[in-house]
Structure 1
Amino acid sequence: MARLNLLEETRFEKLPVTVYPDQQTASVTVAKRIAELIISKQKNNEPTVLGLATGVTPIKVYAELVRMHRQEGLSFKNVITFNLDEYYPMLPTSAQSYVTFMNENLFNHIDIDKKNIHIADGTLSQPDVAQFCLAYERKITELGGLDLQLLGIGRTGHIGFNEPGSAPNSGTRLVTLDDLTRGDAARDFGGKENVPTKAITMGIGTIFKAREIILMAWNEKKAPIIKKAVEGEISGEVPATYLQLSDNVEFIVDQGAASALTRFDTPWLVKDCEWTNALKKKAVIWLAEKVSKPILKLTEEDYNNHGMAQLAVQQGPAYNINIDIFNQAQQTITGWPGGKPGSDDRRRPERAEPAVKKVIIFSPHPDDDVISMGGTFIRLVDQGHDVHVAYQTSGNTAVWDDDVLRYMEFAVDFSESIGEDNSKLKSIYNEMRQFFARKLPNEIDTQAIRNVKGFIRKSEAISGARYAGLHDDHIHFMALPFYETGKTRKNSVGEEDIKLTMDLLQQVQPQQIFAAGDFADPHGTHVVCFNIILEALNRLKMTEAWVKDCWLWMYRGAWHEFPTYEIEMAVPLSPQEVVRKRNAIFKHQSQKDRPVFPGEDAREFWVRAEERNRETALAYDRLGLAEYAAMEAFVRYPF
């Protein structure tokens, strides 16, 4: 019976998908499978031939394999590897090369024979590439083919660098990279203009010959393409869909990457559900959006025709369900994000008391506060709450080099105008100009340059917070150490990051905390900063009584917004408040017009923020609720 139920739940899925609670658990599982394969081959005195992937996805797998080698004696002496791809042209010593990646994350830490490592040569002249690719294929064939192939998946649906349009029988070859793929790699190269336009990749046909194929994907950012690859029609537009034709493939994903699959996103379409309130709210709002009706106009027929007959029978009639969900959505709307003093707060998102709350707004980058919740920030101050803002990182990697020179030239001129000896300042300025003249893409800036970039962002953050109404003693710059690498890839979180956060929390002892919950942030900084806050709160909870009265609210807005059914507090903004928020964002001049790391959205941050806030308000309006110019949305995080 359990097997039949699983088949029913997964009936939209055209290949096997195993879902793990998180990427760490999944990665350890994959590493163990690789280790078991290696050991079984060793017992038979046979080589293990692995196809390996690069990028963020397999890093934890490689880390676990290294751990098993060091702590459990797993040997790689019988392992032969073939990497999926390499940028072209590319020096093997380059920081962005996959040779460097594999050495840093795996090969330098295990006992593999270097002659058993095969990675495409990005230094070849273009006429020699075709012959190299044939030889690459021949080596794999002579070894009896790949025992196991690891894959990630790009947002275009590419596997390896097999971009849309790739043939299912394609072999190893030189390809042209999709613009979206190059955009995703831009941060590693210091700008998309520095990303190679071509790559050498194993073909889909080569991948298909592997005796076992494991495709891995982590986090919600990959959810849309996983849904297409697993549930969509086979198409050259999404090369990963060709894997539906293989009998040897398994997708291993975490809950975030699986979240768009039908069995998780709209489970009522594939099985009888246990109708929790959260699922009921999601389903009814989904139905209203599906049939383009306000909640209160949904009918029994709408429920029956869209897989929700079970809900209507168990908790109906439909109109009663509609009233319930309409009221729940209505009660998320409040003009009092800090709570309305003296009011009945049983149906309000926030507590009425204390009337004046101590609040900390944590901002991962120096502009996330005003971009994501600037209207609410200003309203909290206007309504008399004791608001602090804490900028968790300096944001010093996201400033243009030209801005450094501009600010330094101002400093030189100013010091000269007041008669100070500025010879040292001029010397530093000249050193900066010389460095920039020879600077390589993504090269780490000197400490002096990083300092100036940090000062630029600090001055902008102060200006934005002052505009929101804060005094300087309520503006905190944490400069968490994990971020201060000078590189786009940051260090792991350390005790000092957590201690600094605990110290600030203990100093303020807030009743309200706002933190960035936009984990689709392409930089990865948001989720790191959120986890630091969470760890600090969980430690303080053990000894500090005030923590039990502290509520943690998550905001989004810079990259994505919460889906309507998840929103627990919606703060409406008037047209005038939208303008005030825009003006606060404008204080961040270094991020205006064209930020250094825009992600896939090329619009200015203030435009993104306004359009997302407007769309949230429109989503509420379409459900039959009050119409507002804009809304900022929040979800409470239990801890």
Structure 2
Amino acid sequence: MSRLNLLEETRYEKVPVTVYDNQKEASEAVARRISDLIKRKQAQGQKTVLGLATGATPVGVYSELARLHREEGLSFKDVITFNLDEYYPMQPTAPQSYVRFMDENLFNHIDIDKANVNIPDGTLALEEIPAFCLAYEKKIEELGGLDLQVLGIGRTGHIGFNEPGSAPNSGTRLVTLDDLTRRDASRDFGGKGNVPTKAITMGIGTIFKAREIVLMAWNGKKAPIVQKAVEGEISGEVPATYLQLSDNVEFVLDQDAASGLTRFNTPWLVKDCVWDPVLTKKAVIWLSETLQKPILKLTEEDYNAHGMAQLAVDRGPVYNINIEIFNKLQNTITGWPGGKPNANDAGRPERALPEQKRAIIFSPHPDDDVISMGGTFIRLVDQGHDVHVAYQTSGNTAVWDDDVLRYVEFAIDFNQSIGEEGSRLKGIYEDMRQFIEQKQPNQIDTPEIQNVKAFIRKSEAIAGARYAGLADDHIHFQALPFYENGKTQKATVQEEDIQLTMNLLQQVKPHQVFTAGDFEDPHGTHIVCFNIVVEALRRLRQTESWVQDCWLWMYRGAWHEFATHEVEMAVPLSPQEVARKRNAIFKHQSQKDTPVFPGDDEREFWLRAQERNRDTARRYDRLGLADYEAMEAFVRYHY
């Protein structure tokens, strides 16, 4: 690509941006950049002063730096580090402490002198903080400033803990955390109520003085705020936009984090495109939504004025393009998610044959099935298909402690009502109550409490599946080991997870598999569960002939929906079906009201699902298609 073409393609971007295929490649590139800096300074007999970040984003960088030390001899003896921030108050030994984070992810694996490690002190008395902050700034200045500052970005646009409203010349100080920042941290603390409301952070002015600044971001969850930081106007409402004023900054992104940038999201606005069917569909829907005009009313002038003139020339007249895209959207709509018997299925999302299909709905948590696709679930059963549901994890981390006590109290009373003494149960109850009263944020529950929480969610899942019309022998609880083991160590897929899933698939031999395709859940369970299902199917495809005819459909749930151009099957719901879906969700009583981990949306799950389904239907209506009460959307995954 010529320099002129590159400048045209990136003309909306106000900072240099480098995009890598994935997070691993990007992390290794940043680590190599840090390594080269350290070696260059060492060769000059100088120390390297690094500004370091915490959180999930830099973990891969630190892992690679540790590898470079271990395998390639990179030494950190001449490196001095300053961390961006720390929660306040915070003990350095606490699981959520950034002192502990840095030790576990980097410092314990390299040869750095701990005297050269500087992290804001979360144990100070309130009146001691101003002097500490001044000394922190002074120490950085006396060392000649930061050679390189590593940054992540929060969804509020914060860098460090410089929340919206921070001044561009701010220094190290005590700040109040934004509510969204605290919600994002709630998983680490066992609920938002346990997240500190304040933190000590380097200021934007301090960061800005670094000779090099590298801001990293991974996954689609960060795409909206990355787009604002890179292409938006400079504003205190998005502190990361201040980096546009620096000559020394670079944004390092993976493809998902970069997906909101103009050159990737709407490339026709900045360059000539190859107008394949996928891009054509996306562009026409975007034009319709941008102009708030139904697809069939779009004109050649509309195409020309919005970067789509070449499409009109190559594929026109535009009315033919409009009809083609309208028909494609129309063909995604079906009231027969298992295929319509005795019908021409050439334009339908699912096959007509076999008329009765075997289907498995994989639900990462015990309520994702009804929250995400409850209407389709019920319709599949009503239309005579052989439907199974598999709850992949117990979901027991998402039950309030007081629910445990309430259920055990019920069990004690029940035992007494039938003449059972229940003295052992009373003893277990007292142990539970004492533990809960002294429980620390995010502390692992006792096995007895974990079991009761799992039983609560199991009974609710059974009630929901029965309401959808399933017999008990079609309801499966997998209790995948990765989830249970992940309570004491980092959750990773285990061979047993895949084998358990393969066994169930072999037992049912489904024609359809439905699995969660929304990977923005705050606990990260969905992506792990998805990968397990895909790996199980890929292995079975090598030896089992039925897998060749097994289609995998992804659904999305409480967190966000597929973009309209991505949808391949849209199942419309009547008002009565919306009510039935809502009733199925209501069977999950422990998840009603405020859930333990609400993410960045504190609405109840049933309300989120209802509004999401209605919004999908409204989007189809605005494009000029039929006006349905609600829709559930699916995308087929080719494994």
Under TM normalisation by the shorter chain, which class is it?
over 0.9
Asked if structure 2 preserves the Cα contact closer than 8 Å seen for 1:188 and 1:488, the reply is no
One-letter code of the match for 2:272?
Answer: D
Report 1:452-467 matches (<5 A): 452-467=452-467
- 1:397 counterpart SS class: helix
- 1:602 counterpart SS class: coil
Asked if structure 1 preserves the Cα contact closer than 8 Å seen for 2:486 and 2:492, the reply is no
Q: Percent identity?
A: 78
1:316 paired residue number: 316
For 1:375 and 1:26, the matched residues in 2 are separated by 41
For 1:16 and 1:304, the matched residues in 2 are separated by 30
1:72 paired residue number: 72
For 1:395 and 1:106, the matched residues in 2 are separated by 31
* Cα separation, partners in 2 of 1:490 and 1:465, compared to 1, 3 Å: farther
- 2:18 counterpart SS class: strand
1:468 paired residue number: 468
Corresponding position: 1:501 with 2:501: yes
1:628 paired residue number: 628
For 2:397 and 2:582, the matched residues in 1 are separated by 24
Asked if structure 1 preserves the Cα contact closer than 8 Å seen for 2:360 and 2:510, the reply is yes
CA drift of 1:485 comes to: 4.1
What CA deviation, in whole Å up to 9, does each residue of 1:188-208 have, x standing for no partner? 122222221111111111111
Report 1:2-81 matches (<5 A): 2-81=2-81
For 2:611 and 2:488, the matched residues in 1 are separated by 28
What CA deviation, in whole Å up to 9, does each residue of 1:333-357 have, x standing for no partner? 0001011122111100011111111
For 2:224 and 2:571, the matched residues in 1 are separated by 28
What CA deviation, in whole Å up to 9, does each residue of 1:11-58 have, x standing for no partner? 000001111111112112111211222222233332221111001111
Q: Which runs of 4+ in 1 moved over 4 A?
A: none
Asked if structure 1 preserves the Cα contact closer than 8 Å seen for 2:62 and 2:105, the reply is yes
For 2:159 and 2:328, the matched residues in 1 are separated by 43
1:171 paired residue number: 171
Aligned Cα root-mean-square deviation (Å): 1.3
Q: TM-score, normalised by structure 1?
A: 0.98
What CA deviation, in whole Å up to 9, does each residue of 1:559-584 have, x standing for no partner? 10111111000000111111110010
One-letter code of the match for 1:234?
Answer: I
For 2:526 and 2:595, the matched residues in 1 are separated by 17
* Cα separation, partners in 2 of 1:326 and 1:258, compared to 1, 3 Å: same
2:492 paired residue number: 492
Of stretches 189-198 and 48-57 in structure 1, the one that deviates more from structure 2 is 189-198
What CA deviation, in whole Å up to 9, does each residue of 1:161-183 have, x standing for no partner? 11111111111111111122112
Q: TM-score, normalised by structure 2?
A: 0.98
One-letter code of the match for 1:384?
Answer: G
CA drift of 1:81 comes to: 0.8
Corresponding position: 1:285 with 2:285: yes
2:136 paired residue number: 136
Corresponding position: 1:185 with 2:210: no
1:593 paired residue number: 593
1:357 paired residue number: 357
Asked if structure 2 preserves the Cα contact closer than 8 Å seen for 1:484 and 1:490, the reply is no
Of stretches 224-233 and 172-181 in structure 1, the one that deviates more from structure 2 is 172-181
CA drift of 1:446 comes to: 0.6
One-letter code of the match for 1:396?
Answer: N
1:239 paired residue number: 239
What CA deviation, in whole Å up to 9, does each residue of 1:481-511 have, x standing for no partner? 1111474974222212122112212221211
- 2:287 counterpart SS class: helix
1:92 paired residue number: 92
2:608 paired residue number: 608
Corresponding position: 1:157 with 2:154: no
For 2:446 and 2:478, the matched residues in 1 are separated by 21
Of stretches 148-157 and 64-73 in structure 1, the one that deviates more from structure 2 is 64-73
What CA deviation, in whole Å up to 9, does each residue of 1:338-378 have, x standing for no partner? 11122111100011111111111111111000000000001
One-letter code of the match for 2:608?
Answer: R
What CA deviation, in whole Å up to 9, does each residue of 1:408-440 have, x standing for no partner? 011111122222341111110010011111111
One-letter code of the match for 1:229?
Answer: A
For 2:277 and 2:540, the matched residues in 1 are separated by 31
For 1:503 and 1:115, the matched residues in 2 are separated by 54
For 2:49 and 2:166, the matched residues in 1 are separated by 25
CA drift of 1:126 comes to: 1.5
- 1:94 counterpart SS class: coil
Asked if structure 2 preserves the Cα contact closer than 8 Å seen for 1:450 and 1:486, the reply is no
- 1:635 counterpart SS class: strand
2:540 paired residue number: 540
For 2:234 and 2:294, the matched residues in 1 are separated by 36
For 1:492 and 1:36, the matched residues in 2 are separated by 32
For 1:211 and 1:482, the matched residues in 2 are separated by 43
For 1:40 and 1:476, the matched residues in 2 are separated by 58
For 1:280 and 1:40, the matched residues in 2 are separated by 49
Of stretches 357-366 and 74-83 in structure 1, the one that deviates more from structure 2 is 74-83
What CA deviation, in whole Å up to 9, does each residue of 1:418-471 have, x standing for no partner? 223411111100100111111112211111100110110011001101111111
2:478 paired residue number: 478
Asked if structure 1 preserves the Cα contact closer than 8 Å seen for 2:358 and 2:512, the reply is yes
Asked if structure 2 preserves the Cα contact closer than 8 Å seen for 1:497 and 1:532, the reply is yes
Asked if structure 2 preserves the Cα contact closer than 8 Å seen for 1:243 and 1:249, the reply is yes
One-letter code of the match for 2:253?
Answer: V
2:514 paired residue number: 514
Of stretches 503-512 and 582-591 in structure 1, the one that deviates more from structure 2 is 503-512
One-letter code of the match for 2:561?
Answer: E
Asked if structure 2 preserves the Cα contact closer than 8 Å seen for 1:187 and 1:488, the reply is no
CA drift of 1:67 comes to: 2.2
1:146 paired residue number: 146
1:561 paired residue number: 561
- 2:552 counterpart SS class: strand
For 1:621 and 1:130, the matched residues in 2 are separated by 57
